[in-house]
Structure 1
Amino acid sequence: MTAAAPLRVGVASLAALLALLPVGYVVVSAITVGPATVAELVWRPRVGELLVNTTVLVVATCSACVVLGTATAWITERTDLPGAPVWGALFAAPLAVPAFVNSYAWVSVLPGADGFVGALVVTTMSYFPFVHLPVAAVLRGLDRDQEDVARALGLSPRAAARRVVLPALRPAIVGGALLVGLHLLAEFGALALLRYPTFTTAIYDQFQSTYAGPAAAMLAGVLVLLCLLLLTADLALAGRARGARVGAGAARRRARTPLGGATVPALAGVGLLVAAALGVPVVSVVRWMVTGSSTTVDWAALATATATSVGLGLAAAAVTVALTFPVAWLAVRQPGAFSRALERIAHLGNALPGIVVALALVIVAIRLVPGLYQTTPLLVTAYAILFMPLALVNLRAALLRVPPELEEVAHGLGSRPGAVLARVTAPLLARGAGAGAALVFLAVATELTATLLLAPTGTATLATEFWGPAAAVAYGAAAPYALTMILISIPAAFLLTRQVRAGAHP
């Protein structure tokens, strides 16, 4: 362990402790009410119904996102699809549209677009870029000489893809699916507007009626167990194959697979997907801006909410990346039971609704540090807990592509650990850190429930200003805030696209 490692271990442990706070809140609540009450609250038909609804939606959406995300990455990176770079950017663009804005758009256009089918369509259209982006990055950076060798050994193109390409894509696919699943477990706004009951919407209803009642805490406990199941599946499926190599491989242009007669159907398919994922919400928001009878824009309030959302997003992105880098570094460079535990724990906060994380922090702040209650640092802490996985997945993937031999050579030449980090590791991780920060910014700029509870008095963000009129079916009044959320999210989505186009290798 290098001299700088204790600091990394300390920061990684702090990140894990923060992520454990909401879980600690759930555990303490369970101990307080006693096993008999816990059993009474958990073993009831309503919980079974919520479990089925949540599980079915997670499985269906993750499956749909894996298929769409992998297919769109493959068609833009490996085929001669006309305008492939443009289509690749459009496939990342849905990240600029919050899921609850997407549901608002679909419901306002098609009032019957609710229930399971509506939830599946909206969540898939909102989240498939989480799979598309990492898979496209790996495909762009993959050394295709390995496929050539496989072909030279007598394998067919399909067999070569199955035995060479798919194993290289597996960590990206599994990591993207994990992000989709964790987002679904914590999603509230979109599912509430679509009237599809899950644990998250039920927890919100319980907290509204009893604030911090035991029923809500026990439902949150079930969510934690579902998160652990997802994380266990991710650990089993992702594999432990080394992804780094020294050198960038052969630097020569590669011919793309010709689509031939499938070009027109392929263009029609990608066009329909972009129309559903991007066209429906954008056109709907603009239409309500122009024709909505409730559209009255308070420009001063809109500007204030925009500035607040951007500031909170930038602060949370910086804090979250700083907290999660040591976790990713330990998981990749010093794998073991301790580092794996830290990595798994860091994902827990994202599986809980923002309101549960917020209430846990409220209780801790009031009892231990009263001065932190209703302050911006406490709100940023909640964001870091909620969105650690967004930064962690990207940092971990980037570290896997950085050969450890480069760091070892720098150490062997006498460089101090801090200098190695600054001059060797950090530049090679810039793309992964940028992608993680962009994802955190996107999430924070559109976060709703934790912001409602933890924001200092008088603080208004675009998400909170949107939610009131949207929930009251005043679509025109909500439209300016929805459009502004999309506009401020575009630069971060564009940055993510640039990371993919720059290639998978740092």
Structure 2
Amino acid sequence: MLIAAPPQRSARRRPSLPLARLLFSGLGLAVAGLMVLPLVYLLLRASEAEPAQVAALLWRWRTVELLANTAALTVGVLTLSTLIALPLAWLLSRTNLHGRRWLNLLAVLPLAVPGYVMAYALIGLAGNYGFLNQTIGVTIPRPQGLWGATLALSLYCYPYLYLNLRAAFAGLEASLEETARALGASPRQVFRRVTLPHLMPALMAGWLVVGLYVLGDFGAVALMRFRVFSYVIYQQYAIAYDLLYSAWLSLILIAIALLVVWVESRLRQGQHYSGSGTGSGRPLAPLRLPAWGQVLGLLFAIAVATAALGLPVAVLSFWISRGVSQATWQGLLGSFGQSLSVAAPAALLAGLMAIPVAVLAVRFPGRLSRWVNRLSFVGYAVPALAFALAFVFFTLRSAPWLYQTHGLLVLVYALAFLALAIGPIRSALYQARPAIEEAARALGLGPLASFRRATLPLIQPGLVAAVVLVFVTVMKELPIAFLLAPPGFRPLAIQMFSRTSEGMLVEAAPYAAAIIAFSALAVGVVLRRDRERPQTTAMPAAPAPSLSTSPPPCR
């Protein structure tokens, strides 16, 4: 007589893997739903208008003007940023320029000076009472309009391109250029026909990041009084209170941003830039610059650092030295506390929401995880002002008790900067071996317990980096706070922007200095991650979402 053996303990534990996948899938879908629900509601709310009314709104000359201004600003910033970043990356990556290590640090540090702070520096430079007139007796007109906004945003955004190009130059193989030279190509032809095509992925990734930032920027264009979509959306909502027109302008801006992302992804499809041979490629040897090349290269790198970093520091120091009242310093402490009250919980919430999205992408790849991952980047790809306005419409109609509350502001911050948190956590999960989780489950732990006790300690550095990035980004964020801040809520960014708009440059200087200090923390985290990243990795690269490439560290 055969007696059936009792089921083994390991057999009873076998359903733990599907249970873990179901749990993380549910959490990931909840995050994706929170991300897209207000945007869908914004579309439904805007579509309630009559077709004739919509046509009259969209075919205004003002709308055409906004489209032309936005396109001109985006093209201008991309052009000027490329003219700065490309030669700078070549000098610091491909040549033996003296002081490359320090010059590289100076090339990245302008990320700590947000666009609206850079605009403040340019404004504080001009006029009869400006920095130039008071120090060397030179008076320049107040920067404004297209050229002022282009200059302010380019000096802030060029490091995004620089970081991408520097990595691309470091990854080039020596055999590519050597083969072209052996075939008789001149150095200029080698750069144009060999090097530049291999830099296109880095250029497109950087252009995407810069373009999305310019489309969503509010502070710099508002201070420069340049009418683009984001600036007029705020005016129509906050001043004219034309909700319908602001909704349709937001949808146009969202459509432009998503179109830019789609075009960039289509251009990348089917492109291959790796070598076809076996083995690892030999890196390029640094080019030896002659004496005059060293001088010109140093002058160019120092000029860029002076304009993007030295200028705002000098202007801020000048205006602070003019005498800041005791009340301003006390207000600075109060604003710091208010900024901290939303930045800390938003950073923690973003880190928690990023965990299931990253786990789905790494441990349970598939169609569902791909869509959850893509939708999680929507908040960063969509311009901040339009994203915030979607929550305004959603809460006014569906949850009025939530409108202009501290909790709503924290939630929107976490969703808007969720992409910043996903990257470090996802990278840490790729480096954490799944065998450790499997061993924990084999010892009798459930899916949550095995993740908490085995996986979470391994990804803790990535989680900390994610929280820090979101924290310092929220500390300096402006457009979302303008639309969703509770009554009386005056964080650092709003205080600095409001005082600059009113011409109170002395009172605005301490707030701008505090914003730069906290932004420098984000740059420090990025530089540390870049320095600790291994040159060769054994783990597969994270799949790039179709809605965005790796997001920039600061918005």
Do Structure 1 and Structure 2 share a fold, with TM-score over 0.5? yes
Query: Could you tell me how far apart the structure 1 residues matched to 2:231 and 2:271 are?
Result: 39
Per the alignment, do residues 325 and 151 of structure 1 end up closer, same or farther by CA in structure 2, a change over 3 Å counting?
farther
Query: Could you tell me how far apart the structure 2 residues matched to 1:463 and 1:359 are?
Result: 18
Per the alignment, do residues 425 and 302 of structure 1 end up closer, same or farther by CA in structure 2, a change over 3 Å counting?
closer
* Residue 87 (structure 1) aligns with: 103
1:118 to 2:134 alignment: no
Query: Could you tell me how far apart the structure 2 residues matched to 1:54 and 1:228 are?
Result: 15
Per the alignment, do residues 134 and 12 of structure 1 end up closer, same or farther by CA in structure 2, a change over 3 Å counting?
farther
Aligned to 2:297, which of 226, 242, 266? 266
Query: Could you tell me how far apart the structure 2 residues matched to 1:477 and 1:306 are?
Result: 15
Per the alignment, do residues 22 and 462 of structure 1 end up closer, same or farther by CA in structure 2, a change over 3 Å counting?
same
Aligned to 2:474, which of 439, 444, 451? 444
Counterpart code for 1:27: L
Aligned-pair distance for 1:415?
6.3
Once the two structures are superposed, the pairs formed by residues 92-241 of structure 1 within 5 Å of their partners are 92-110=108-126, 111-136=141-166, 142=171, 147-148=173-174, 171-211=201-241, 213-239=243-269
Calculate the aligned-residue CA RMSD, in Å. 4.0
Counterpart code for 1:273: V
Greater CA drift, 251-260 or 300-309:
251-260
Deviations 1:310-335 (A, max 9, x none): 45334333333443455466567777
Asked whether the equivalents of residues 58 and 181 of structure 1 are also in contact (C-alpha less than 8 Å), the reply is: yes
Query: Could you tell me how far apart the structure 2 residues matched to 1:171 and 1:437 are?
Result: 28
Per the alignment, do residues 422 and 264 of structure 1 end up closer, same or farther by CA in structure 2, a change over 3 Å counting?
farther
Per the alignment, do residues 50 and 331 of structure 1 end up closer, same or farther by CA in structure 2, a change over 3 Å counting?
farther
Aligned to 1:46, which of 55, 62, 65? 62
Per the alignment, do residues 486 and 34 of structure 1 end up closer, same or farther by CA in structure 2, a change over 3 Å counting?
same
Deviations 1:236-266 (A, max 9, x none): 234588999xxxx989998533333321111
Per the alignment, do residues 184 and 379 of structure 1 end up closer, same or farther by CA in structure 2, a change over 3 Å counting?
same
Query: Could you tell me how far apart the structure 2 residues matched to 1:487 and 1:217 are?
Result: 35
Asked whether the equivalents of residues 291 and 476 of structure 1 are also in contact (C-alpha less than 8 Å), the reply is: yes
TM-score (norm 1): 0.82
Query: Could you tell me how far apart the structure 2 residues matched to 1:138 and 1:395 are?
Result: 24
Asked whether the equivalents of residues 183 and 350 of structure 1 are also in contact (C-alpha less than 8 Å), the reply is: no
Partner SS for 2:414: helix
* Residue 307 (structure 2) aligns with: 276
Query: Could you tell me how far apart the structure 2 residues matched to 1:171 and 1:329 are?
Result: 27
Per the alignment, do residues 206 and 152 of structure 1 end up closer, same or farther by CA in structure 2, a change over 3 Å counting?
closer
Partner SS for 2:47: helix
Query: Could you tell me how far apart the structure 1 residues matched to 2:28 and 2:165 are?
Result: 27
TM-score (norm 2): 0.76
Uncovered stretches (5+) of structure 1, i.e. residues with no partner: none
Greater CA drift, 406-415 or 54-63:
406-415
Greater CA drift, 167-176 or 93-102:
167-176
Query: Could you tell me how far apart the structure 2 residues matched to 1:425 and 1:163 are?
Result: 47
* Residue 331 (structure 2) aligns with: 301
Once the two structures are superposed, the pairs formed by residues 294-443 of structure 1 within 5 Å of their partners are 297-324=327-354, 326-327=356-357, 339=369, 341-350=371-380, 352=382, 354-369=384-399, 371-392=401-422, 398=427, 402=430, 407=433, 427=458, 430=461, 437-443=467-473
1:288 to 2:319 alignment: yes
Asked whether the equivalents of residues 199 and 219 of structure 1 are also in contact (C-alpha less than 8 Å), the reply is: yes
Higher helix content, 1 or 2: 1
Uncovered stretches (5+) of structure 2, i.e. residues with no partner: 1-16, 127-140, 538-555
Once the two structures are superposed, the pairs formed by residues 451-470 of structure 1 within 5 Å of their partners are 451-470=481-500
Counterpart code for 1:271: I
Partner SS for 1:197: coil
Counterpart code for 1:302: L
1:28 to 2:28 alignment: no
* Residue 533 (structure 2) aligns with: 503
1:492 to 2:522 alignment: yes
Aligned-pair distance for 1:277?
0.8
Partner SS for 1:33: coil
Asked whether the equivalents of residues 109 and 309 of structure 2 are also in contact (C-alpha less than 8 Å), the reply is: yes
Counterpart code for 1:267: L
Aligned-pair distance for 1:429?
9.2
Query: Could you tell me how far apart the structure 1 residues matched to 2:224 and 2:72 are?
Result: 16
Asked whether the equivalents of residues 438 and 496 of structure 1 are also in contact (C-alpha less than 8 Å), the reply is: no
